[in-house]
């Protein structure tokens, strides 16, 4: 999974645009495999079982974040209480400000 990058002429540094140009898609109950695959790729420390994901997905609380046609992060929110249960960014996009951008989006 590669990151789309942009060169700045002033400082000659590479900047990933994923934190400012991601798309958001609600996960459906049938998306558990893809959701779990991204959690596993990022080595999320907590076990997110199928029933937990399905329960929150049915209420609009399972979310995919996509960039350049690829899923780059997931979050699981309890919509009833507004609690962030899990957030995982794919390792290729860590350190780009994506996690902070997602939290700002969720607030």
Rg (CA), the chain: 14
Q: How many CB atoms lie within 10 A of CB 58?
A: 12
Q: How many CB atoms lie within 10 A of CB 31?
A: 19
How far apart are alpha carbons 31 and 26 in whole angstroms? 10
pLDDT of amino acid 4: 55
In sequence order, the 6+-apart residues with CB closer than 8 A to the CB of 32 are: 50, 53, 54, 57
How far apart are alpha carbons 51 and 49 in whole angstroms? 6
pLDDT tens series, the chain, 107 aa = 556 555 555 655 557 889 889 999 999 999 999 999 999 988 888 888 999 999 999 999 999 999 999 999 999 999 889 999 999 999 989 888 899 999 999 98
- 3-class SS of residue 47: coil
pLDDT of amino acid 44: 85
pLDDT of amino acid 88: 94
pLDDT of amino acid 14: 58
Burial class (CB in 10 A: 0-12, 13-18, 19+), 76: buried
């Amino acid at each position: 999974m590669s990151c789309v990058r942009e060169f700045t002429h002033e400082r000659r540094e590479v900047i990933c645009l994923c934190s400012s140009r991601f798309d958001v898609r609600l996960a459906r109950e049938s998306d558990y495999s893809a959701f779990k695959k991204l959690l596993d790729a990022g080595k999320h420390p907590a076990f997110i079982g199928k029933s937990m994901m399905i329960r929150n997905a049915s209420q609009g609380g399972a979310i995919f974040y996509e960039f350049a046609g690829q899923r780059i992060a997931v979050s699981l929110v309890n919509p009833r209480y507004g609690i962030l249960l899990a957030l995982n960014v794919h390792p290729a996009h860590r350190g780009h400000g994506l996690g902070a951008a997602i939290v700002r989006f969720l607030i």
